[in-house]
Chain A
Amino acid sequence: MKLWKTLALAILGSTLATGAVAQGKKWETVRIATEGAYAPWNFSTPQGKLDGFEVELAQELCRRMNVKCEIVAQDWDGIIPALQAGKYDAIMAGMNITPKREEVIQFSRVYAAGPHGWGVMKDSPLAKLAGKDQVVHLVNDADTAKKIIEEWKPLLKGKTVGVQTSTTNSAFLEKYFKDVVQIREYKTTEQHDLDLAAGRLDAIFAAHSSIAATMEKPEFKDMTIAGAGLGGDILGAGVAVGLRKQDTDLKKMFDDAINAAIKDGTIEKLTSKWFKIKMIPQA
């Protein structure tokens, strides 16, 4: 009986403690989670340090918000539940705004956006997928997008495609290619890159920025982007900071800082530093 009481008190105490932090008027430290396995957005260096576009941007934003930044690495598939559980206060991990995610968390304004598409090996018949070097919006260019997707289907029929689990990319495949290809879900993009190079997969579906970064590595030099790049709708409205719904003050702080960083060209500078492909400008 006594044990139960102590336990209950301990649990109550910890909820109160996190509640107090969440309601605190003034933010002194902001803990930001990133995945650390999604180059060039965020990755771990061989020395084990976090680096990448978002790590640099996070420090830049914290400087503008006048808070102390703590950047932590968190596995992708638990990144939203852990935010809700109060393990950290914000997510900057190449996360696209989608209606499904907006049901559980809120987003700041978009700080980056780029197309998504197929990655294949150069000698694969899939390298000829239609629409190379084109970028098509799933809603604004709905007719073109539909035509291209229909053109892809016969070539992709029965192929095995890798995708990172619980991403806009996996949602896209589920919606458009569920009965066409065999989908294999991976924890990180690095894992499906390895399996594509090993020949276990015929293609991957990922952000162009991430495929382009992989192609830079010598062991993946035979990989290439195939077909048109897609964006919008189920693929998300762009990448933004993910926040708990009740932290509206923190959202305002991030929005202001991002706007300021767009205005003075900081984001553009960071984008061209980190991404090998053309990203969609945010101004």
Chain B
Amino acid sequence: MDFAFMAETFMKLIEGVPLTLNLAFASVALGALFAMLLALMRLSGVAALDWLARGYVFVFRGTPLLVQIFLIYYGLGQFRPSLQALGLWWFFREPYWCALLALTLNTAAYASEIIRGGLQSVPHGQIEAARACGMSRWLLFRRIVFPIAVRQALPAYGNEIILMVKATSLASIITMMEVTGIAHKLISQTFRAVEVFVCAGAIYLLLNFLVTRAVLALEWWLSPHLRGAPAPAPRLEAAHV
């Protein structure tokens, strides 16, 4: 192992971290909104919406992300005249938007199932109690159902965020120079695959370490009922007696 080379490689790979994080967090954020919509469609009770959401999840969960990225980038690239007529070409022309779209659509499919599970795990008694207090449907969702669902879904959602940080590496196949893209380039310049990939792996490990800590902190914050009660403060009056 040549440590000077590895240090140099590490610094070069770090330059790809902003793009990796950009793709990961933008797709997770947009995907979460879309996933919420899909989950609500599943639970709406309207058969058409339910089956539409089921079909979407089936397709995007059942096909590899790599194939989805290829189809969106190279596949749609062949329909340039139609896309130009629709005024959408500016979007599909750029590899960044194509990568973001593919990642978002993919994570939305997985996340919608996680959110659906969370929503369905809210105890019925709590909903009835809220109704008994006279809460409107929206207030009930905002105050009771949503916070509990988020808390239940968080461990699984943390997994999904980690998977997305790693999934951004696939964007390198459509010319995006994120960490893996730069790693491939460095290997082709130096032919030292082991050192470069070890550094790239270490960077993903570090990023995901931070992600897991953040999710853990959020979980702790959302679960005050699982923590021991704070020690009661000593009564100050006692000193005067």
Contacts and interface: CB of A to CB of B under 8 A. Distances in A.
B18 interface: no
B93 interface: yes
Interface residues of A, number: 21
Contacts of A261: none
Contacts, number: 47
A80 B78 CA distance: 33
A58 B185 CA distance: 29
Contact of A165 (B77, B188, B193): B188
B78 A198 contact: yes
A194 B78 contact: yes
Interface string B66-109: 00000000100110100000000100010100000000000000
Contacts of A197: 78
A185 B191 contact: no
Contact of A166 (B74, B95, B185): B185
Interface string B185-203: 1011101110000000000
A199 interface: yes
B74 A199 contact: no
Given A184-B175, A195-B77, A166 B193 contact: no
B5 to A, nearest CB: 14
Contacts of A259: none
B193 A78 contact: yes
Contact of B187 (A78, A100, A187, A198): A78
Contacts of A246: none
Contacts of A78: 187, 193
Contacts of A186: 175
A140 to B, nearest CB: 27
A200 B93 contact: yes
A197 B77 CA distance: 9
Interface residues of B, number: 19
Given A78-B193, A184-B175, A187-B173, A198 B188 contact: no
A237 to B, nearest CB: 19
Contacts of A195: 74, 77
B189 A194 contact: no
Contact of B185 (A84, A162, A165, A191): A165
B175 A185 contact: yes
B187 A81 contact: yes
Contacts of B89: 199
A18 to B, nearest CB: 16
Given A78-B187, A165-B184, A199 B80 contact: yes
A187 B188 CA distance: 11
Contacts of A77: 184, 187-188
Contacts of B188: 77, 165-166
Given A165-B184, A185-B175, A80 B191 contact: yes
Contacts of B173: 187
Interface of A: 77-78, 80-81, 84, 100, 104, 162, 165-166, 184-187, 191, 194-195, 197-200
Interface of B: 74, 77-78, 80, 89, 93, 95, 173, 175, 177, 181, 184-185, 187-189, 191-193
